[in-house]
């Protein structure tokens, strides 16, 4: 076996966190995701890019069963997390979402204190035995979200009183507080100014030391800056998936090339 195939084999065996096989998603009669098969790697940032309406968010939501909450939405195919079928009847979607956390486009802190926003998940999942343990998780999560220094003196203040960028980092702290294994981010910077965007991008890079991160983004510059792997979607299909540098410098499919050079989208 040559070196290249050894490397490829190492990646597929050791580092795959999520597998998707022949995934179809329908909203009523609208076939929104067609035959998507992909392996998402652990400790890697994967970017989903593609023109508006191509299905990026829909596919992202399949990975923690958020589509279950949309009555007309139907998901077919197979998706596993660490080899376990996440659509198995025995899987509790609420538990799954603690393992596969999500951060949305618009920062959406609960109308609670900064502390309670972060403590919410550990409380409902019973992750701590006493206040000291909860305090420790809140501090660790806020540190991981690069927000601790800015809020440590006002943990009782409302989360909604923070700036947009701080609110988004609070939502990231809330998501990491349940010790997820995967973090899904749906255009997490689209409501942020350039400084807050840069902070969140830096944070994403740090988060990948611990988690698999999947980010939907409209910004190709952002995908190039933060991700190691990129998936290009078009009209509900996964057209091309590979190492980010290769996708942006040497795309194999003409549709990918048209998108990254600005001819479609
Ligand atoms: N809640 C929903 N109910 C019905 N149809 C939906 C719903 N969400 C998405 N769709 C449809 O599914 C298709 C894919 O939409 P989706 O939002 O996943 O694309 P996207 O690539 O994330 O788009 P954008 O970049 O504009 O956010 C579209 O045809 C859209 O109209």
Question: What are the pLDDT digits (tens) for 125-157?
Answer: 898 999 999 999 999 999 988 899 999 999 999
Residue spans of the chain under pLDDT 70: 1-14, 264-265
Q: Which CATH class is domain 3-260?
A: alpha beta
- This complex has an ipTM of 0.97
Measure 27 CA to ligand 1 centroid, in angstroms.
Answer: 9
Q: Kindly give the number of the ligand 1 atom that is closest to the alpha carbon of 54.
A: 21
Which is the closest atom of ligand 1 to the Cα of 28? 4
d(CA 159, CA 161): 5
The residues pairing with 90 across neighbouring beta strands, listed in sequence order, are: none
Instruction: Say whether 209 sits in a helix, a strand or coil.
Output: coil
CB contact at 8 A, 172 and 8 = no
**Which atom of ligand 1 has the smallest separation from the CA of 25?**
12
Task: Tell me the H-state helices in 72-208.
Answer: 93-99, 114-124, 131-144, 148-151, 164-176, 194-207
Q: What is the pLDDT of residues 181-207, one digit of tens each?
A: 999 999 999 888 898 899 889 999 989
Ligand 1 centre to CA of 239 (Å) is 17
| Residue 90 φ then ψ, to 5° | -80, -10
Distant-in-sequence, close-in-space partners of 34: CB < 8 Å, separation ≥ 6: 24, 235, 236, 237
User: For the chain, what are the domain ranges?
Assistant: 3-260
pLDDT number for residue 218: 92
């Amino acid at each position: 076996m040559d070196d290249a195939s050894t490397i490829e084999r190492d990646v597929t065996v050791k580092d795959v966190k999520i597998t998707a096989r022949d995934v179809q998603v329908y909203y009523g009669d609208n076939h929104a995701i067609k035959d998507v098969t992909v392996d998402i790697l652990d400790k890697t940032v994967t970017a989903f890019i593609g023109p508006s309406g191509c299905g990026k968010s829909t596919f992202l939501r399949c990975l923690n069963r958020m589509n279950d909450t949309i009555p007309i939405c139907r998901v077919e195919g197979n998706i596993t997390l660490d080899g376990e079928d996440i659509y198995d009847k025995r899987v509790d979607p609420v538990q799954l979402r603690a393992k596969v956390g999500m951060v949305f486009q618009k920062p959406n802190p609960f109308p609670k204190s900064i502390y309670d926003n972060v403590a919410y998940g550990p409380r409902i999942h019973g992750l701590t035995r006493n206040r000291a343990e909860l305090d420790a998780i809140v501090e660790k999560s806020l540190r991981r979200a690069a927000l601790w220094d800015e809020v440590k003196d006002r943990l009782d203040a409302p989360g909604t009183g923070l700036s947009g960028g701080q609110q988004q980092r609070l939502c990231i702290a809330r998501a990491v507080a349940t010790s997820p294994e995967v973090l899904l981010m749906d255009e997490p910077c689209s409501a942020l100014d350039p400084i807050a965007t840069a902070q969140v991008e830096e944070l994403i890079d740090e988060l990948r030391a611990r988690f698999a991160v999947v980010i939907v983004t409209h910004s190709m510059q952002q995908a190039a800056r933060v991700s190691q792997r990129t998936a290009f979607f078009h009209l509900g299909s996964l057209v091309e998936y590979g190492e980010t540098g290769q996708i942006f410098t040497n795309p194999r499919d003409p549709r990918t090339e048209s998108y990254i050079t600005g001819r479609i989208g």
